[in-house]
């Protein structure tokens, strides 16, 4: 039995949920958006999985975010996806961060930190996981994307665990990083979609981003691009790469290994990061 907590973005949560719906033969929702701090629970039952939203009880904006009741009604039955019996995966959307502020400049939005609201949301995510698990998280592993807001979120989540359950290292998971998507389109990327590779690439150009969001102005596109570009680059600038968030160690080893191998094969970041989906990481 293994327990994993993964912190990622709304887009990644939505893409993962929609992939499950497609694999299960269920209708995809119309642009569900997930509240900051939202927690989804994946429970392995061998030949099937059970998917539930365990947090929040009430979303911060009912007109914008999908509710727990609506989500769980959609997933009231077991899903025909294999996952080892007893394995539990918690998927968390990061807390509210500086880039979510309308008034934030591009500089402030670049790889933004959690706000005071986001910190509270992250702590509440941790409390929800403790309550759901009754404080028992066997063989716990934690993963996050390469952005600071997800690293901060997992730190605050872990602080809500007992000292016996808390671990001090988080793996940077390349499959959990933020991605762009067609604005007004379904939050869903198929592995054979040629736009997948550029959508997940943090160095995406404005010309490429126009393919994903043709209705946006260049100013809006630049904001989208800068929000999801990490300040950390462990390949080109290891010495300046963040390796610790307060007491939490940040483990870049698998991230570096995948990039190093892929670059040697002539692949782009997007090609490397889209080789496996986040869903594949969850159900492995």
Question: Average pLDDT, stretch 10-33?
Answer: 89
| Region label for 213, one of left (φ > 0), alpha (ψ between -120 and 50) or beta (otherwise) | beta
For 144, the 3-state DSSP assignment is: strand
Name which residue leads in pLDDT, 156 or 196: 156
Least confident residue range of 109-118, 193-202, 234-243: 193-202
The pLDDT assigned to 212 comes to: 84
Note the pLDDT of residue 158. 98
The predicted pLDDT at position 184 comes to 52
Please tell me the predicted confidence (pLDDT) of residue 45: 97
- Average pLDDT rounded to a whole number, residues 245-265: 97
Q: Is 229 helix (H, G, I), strand (E, B) or coil?
A: coil
Q: What angle do CA 240, 243, 249 make, to 5 degrees?
A: 175
CA gap 186, 47 in Å, rounded: 28
Q: What is the pTM of this model?
A: 0.96
Helix (H, G, I), strand (E, B) or coil at 4: strand
Average pLDDT over residues 6-27: 92
Assess contact for 158 and 167: CB atoms under 8 A: yes
Beta strands 3-8; 88-93: pairing state: parallel
pLDDT range class, residue 265, cuts 50, 70, 90: very high
Q: Among 273, 225, 200, 237, which Cα is nearest to 110's?
A: 225
Percent of the chain past pLDDT 70, that is, above it, reads 96
Q: How many CB atoms are located within 10 Å of the residue 241 CB? A: 18
Cβ neighbours for 129, distance < 8 A, ≥ 6 positions apart: 5, 39, 54, 55, 90, 137, 157, 160, 161
| Residue pLDDT, tens place only, 41-83 | 999 999 999 999 999 999 999 999 999 999 999 999 999 999 9
* Pairing assessment for the beta strands 39-44 and 88-93 based on DSSP bridges: antiparallel
What is the structure's pLDDT at 1? 87
* Domain extents in the chain: 3-283
Average pLDDT over residues 257-277: 95
Which pLDDT belongs to residue 216? 87
Q: Tell me the average pLDDT across 252-261.
A: 98
């Amino acid at each position: 039995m293994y327990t994993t907590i993964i912190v990622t973005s709304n887009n990644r949560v939505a893409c993962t949920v929609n992939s499950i719906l497609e694999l299960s033969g269920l209708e995809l929702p119309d642009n569900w958006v997930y509240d900051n701090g939202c927690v989804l629970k994946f429970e392995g039952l061998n030949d099937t999985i059970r998917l539930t939203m365990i947090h929040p009880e009430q979303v911060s904006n009912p007109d914008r975010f999908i509710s727990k009741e609506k989500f769980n009604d959609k997933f009231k039955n077991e899903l025909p996806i294999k996952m080892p019996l007893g394995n539990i995966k918690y998927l968390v959307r990061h807390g509210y961060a500086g880039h979510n502020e309308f008034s934030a400049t591009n500089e402030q939005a670049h790889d933004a930190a959690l706000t005071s609201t986001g910190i509270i949301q992250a702590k509440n995510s941790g409390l929800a996981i403790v309550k759901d698990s009754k404080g028992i998280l066997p063989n716990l592993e934690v993963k996050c994307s390469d952005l600071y807001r997800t690293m901060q979120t997992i730190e605050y989540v872990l602080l809500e665990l007992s000292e016996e359950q808390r671990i001090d290292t988080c793996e940077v998971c390349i499959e959990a990083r933020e991605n762009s998507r067609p604005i007004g389109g379904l939050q869903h990327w198929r592995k054979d979609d040629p736009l997948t590779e550029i959508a997940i690439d943090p160095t995406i150009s404005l010309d490429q981003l126009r393919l994903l969001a043709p209705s946006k102005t260049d100013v809006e596109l630049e904001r989208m691009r800068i929000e999801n570009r990490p300040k950390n680059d462990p390949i080109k600038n290891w010495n300046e790469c963040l390796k610790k968030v307060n007491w939490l160690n940040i483990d870049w080893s698998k991230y570096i290994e995948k990039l190093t191998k892929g670059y040697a094969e002539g692949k782009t970041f997007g090609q490397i990061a889209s080789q496996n989906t986040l869903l594949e990481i969850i159900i492995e």
